Structure 1
Amino acid sequence: MPEPVKVVIWDLDDTFWRGTLSEGAIEALEENLDLVRDTVARGIVHTIVSKNDFAAAEAKLIELGIRDMFVFPQISWQPKGPIIKRLLEQMQLRAPNALFLDDNPINRAEAQFYNPELQVADPADLATLAPLLRASGKPDPGLSRLEQYKLLERQQQARSTYQDNLAFLRDSQVRIHFRKGEAVLPDLDRIEELINRSNQLNFTKRRVKKEELQASFQDANRRWGTVCVQDRFGDYGLVGVYCLNLSDYTLEQLVFSCRILHLGVEQFTYASLGFPQLEVQGEVATELNQTDRPDWITLEADESAATPLSSENAVTKKLRVLLKGGCDLGQLTPFLQAFDLAVEEEFNYVNENQIPVHVEHTALLKGGREWPETEHKRLAASLPFLGEEAFQTKLWNEAYDVLVYSPLMDYTQDLYREKSTGHLIPFGGYNNLIAADRATQAAKFAKRRFRGMDEAFLQRFQQEFTFEGQLSPEGFTANLRWLRAQVPAHVPIFFLNGAEIEVPGSGETGAKARHVLMNQALADFAAQAYNCFVLDVRDFVHTPADVTNNLRHYQRQHYRTLAQRVAEAIGQWHGRQLEHSSWVDLKARAVSLVPAKLRGLWQKL
């Protein structure tokens, strides 16, 4: 047998059994019954192409106790060659992996004429072939492969009743579940099998050894994931695997089992990953594109990985919103709470050195995600403007339904590269610490009562770091792709862009032009990324009177407007208008007008 046999196609009369069914009694051949049972338990599937009456043949197979071992039986009086060709298409198998057994040489010749690479044999050859078949495949005592083909058979039978394929897909109730990170480790053997044995839907065709695969799982620069699929016909199990290289957002592996062919699973997965770069190798059965996301597929969240943000939320079932950005966004929370939302905040904080630390720059998020804990501790101890909590974030715990994220620190902060490690660290903005006069800069820090930012530190900093400047639009886009890949695909990301106005006296030269540049990069990214949206503050922040000390801090009334825009966008994504409390909104408006020192007392009322 030149290629492994995955399916055996049986003729019945004088092949599977002795005699002709339509002419009278037949004699069962126990060796053939045993061969089918033994090889099904090795993952080989069996089907029938026979010229016979279907009802009579099926009744005899049931009588022999073997009917359940066959899938896709083709029993009719039609020519066998075209039937086998159509059968292999339905089973999504290649002719070289099929063996056709028939006592009639004319039937065998016809079958090969229509299927040139088909393996054929006379039943007299079974004495030689049977030991080879029994040694093929691998143990499958649970008959899982047979069950998968029965599922496919049910699906194909249902599909044939529809004239509109899209209607069939919508009625199929296809559901996808992604696993990633440590959740893929128990499936090492299945992942290795998919990568090395799949061809029709193997887009990358990078074969791997199991040892290499295990090592790659530990690589922080690579994100492995698996794809599990169900529909109303049954559970297909783990049918896909991908590997993203996060440094350049390139797919190194994208492989699927052919059992989900024509369901749109490959395109849905590609879209859910944000259409990363993909160099398709060789021929594949599906052509992917950079735009479509099949809307007949439902993405199921990994509920076991998420934990409620609060006991109140577990009772109310409110949408859980993580609000991440500068602390000015805290002014959104009271207004958002007027809607049917449970809001969790993650803003900048004042560290142990009395220095405000922004924790939302994408470079810092990448460092927190990818660098080892020892590096976090070292940098926190050596750089006073970081501190112990700089690398901590709630982004990765999956305990939220919606992420509202302001990337304005990517617009603002400068990046410094550590010479010894290449680590990029964000700090400040519109001010080069490397080129600054140390005495003057230290005096400014002392005036602000920052501890540890003295001349000695600045001297060491200038020796150990180089100034990279603000993140480029290209680097920003790459980091956004990385962030989208880290946040669960079912969680939408609502980005808050920046105002585009001149603010006299802010000391941030070129800030408006910088915002114009980065806003465009953000808009371009969100236009092609899956489940990403931009909320445009330029709709209501137009003039210097609309901001306070810089173009990132808005007048109080605008935060209410922004909160309403956020709630409206979340409602549209969620498919329903969020419930709203006028009393809570009125209270929030009143609190926003109260001086900060008195707000705590008012909020207790």
Structure 2
Amino acid sequence: MLIDSIKLVIWDLDDTFWQGTISEGDISLVPDNVQAVQDLLDRGIMNSICSKNDFGVVHAFLSQQGNLWERFVFPSINWEAKGYRIRKIIEDMNLRPTNVLFIDDNEANLNEARFYCPDIQILPASRLSELYTAIESYKGKMDFAHSRLERYRVLETKQVAMSKAESNLAFLKASDIRVYIDHKCQDVDRIVELVGRTNQLNYTKLRQSRDELLSYLKSDEYDTASIYAKDSYGDYGCIGFYCLEKKEQSLIHFLFSCRTLGMGIEQWVYQRLSSPTLKVVGQVANPAETSEDRSYIRDISYEEFFAKSIAEKKDRGSTCSILFKGPCDLEAIVPLMENMGKVKTEFNYIGDNDTTVAGFNHSAHILESLTLSDTDIETIIQDAPFMDPGDFKTNLFSEHYDIVFYSLLPDEHQGVYKNKNTGWKISYNSLNYSLTDPKKWEKYITGDYENNYPFTEDILRNFSDKYQFIGGLDKKDVVQNLKAIREKLPQDTLLVLMLGSEIESEVNNEEFANSAPRHIEINNAVKELFKNQDNVEIINMTDFITSQDCFNGCTNHFSKKVYFEIAQRAAAIINTYTHANAVVYEPDSWHMKVKRRMAKFKHSFDKRVRKLKAKWGK
């Protein structure tokens, strides 16, 4: 099963999606199937239904299951034979049978589907585990916002309206089709996706790599453009791309998404280009050249096409809410920036027992903050008294942020310990300083590891009896945790991940020894996970390291120049995403000297207040 080629899964229901027959009595959902539907949507793969049943009964049941009904499009539920209905679902969705998978427990139904759609992929319900496995192997672009689902919802609405129109041309004229032609080709990822995946309206079918496509975009010898479309029913986003060799007036690429099939946009664009040479490869759904009138399509500007999103960004600029979450790398850049809107921070801090509270910035603690009760936290601290309740508290999910800057240094640097009974994980200090290694205990007790906690051998021995040291968090766990964090954040929140330096400082001490190899391993896994995700940005510290002078004592600490450049990158992201006007000041400017003095005074004052509260019990 080639999951990356599948665009639609059509489900039978009785004894397939659920156990039992709904018309005969009780049925029970199969949890793995419900999860599969969700996982498919997250990957931009649609779900439909072709079932012999009563529509009203099925609709009522699925609507009561956490509104499961809304996860399916173009459902066909009646008592007619399935073959023809499956073909109609595929046609209505403007898809090809080869990109569709049909699942049924009845072999006759599978064979009937193959008769009407010879190229369709089929799967007996007894082999559904193959689908679950295939989903996990998916390597395409993720769609956690379910934007593709929304576009097929638009198509459903259009199908109803089209059936009521007096003619197809009358329907198209009433649809108010608007097109924006982007000659800057700003969404390169979408162009790469279109070149690699489109078929029905891909006239040259030339599959090329990102680097090959970029060579066209950067050359003056080619006229390139990405095509955006919308109508009165919805916004279809970037739906096409062309690359025209200027001298020969020959199209190298000319392709459009099937989501706009039947709108005539590809023919309208071809007419605008004065019908250049086009060598069509293979079959296409529509000819590029037509004598039919396409004047109902309007060419509009960037400002008109994106008016709504521009207004929303401006609104976000005036009320922008940003969270900076992490250790010293973020704490060093935030003071350099101003005019960012409403800023909140979750930096390491000194707790009531004068020890550094840093655990709440580790991804394991972030997720545990959602599940651990106050009693659970008390139990953890009884066994690990060097921890603080604050290690398990975060406002990451309790408030809405436009942008979250999150550093991965805690995941890449801190040691992780697993409770032998409950499986709870806690992070503490460097992964090079194992709390459960008796050879390290003396330095903990003497304070050589700079933790400020009054360790004793009894405390360390008791902790070692309860917890197992597992080293640093495995890259698979880091990826899984980040994926969960991204899913739990609102889809319109931009997550900016700060990755550790992949170049090693030559003056590392024991705490930071061998940091770079671990950074490389985790960074590569994270970049692979989010390479095609629009609501995730990455700032890699490595990009700012030009020599050993860029470090300040270890691989995780940097010079003022590096922090200034990172702050500039962060400000650019803020200004692009929110239309704010964040500014960055040079570290040694008069403005920053005054800010540092004020911050130093505030830090001393806050520390004195904490000590007084601890002394008087308030």
Query: Smaller-chain TM-score range?
Result: 0.3 to 0.5
Q: TM-score, normalised by structure 2?
A: 0.47
The TM-score with structure 1 as length reference comes to 0.48
- Which of the pair has more CA radius of gyration? 1
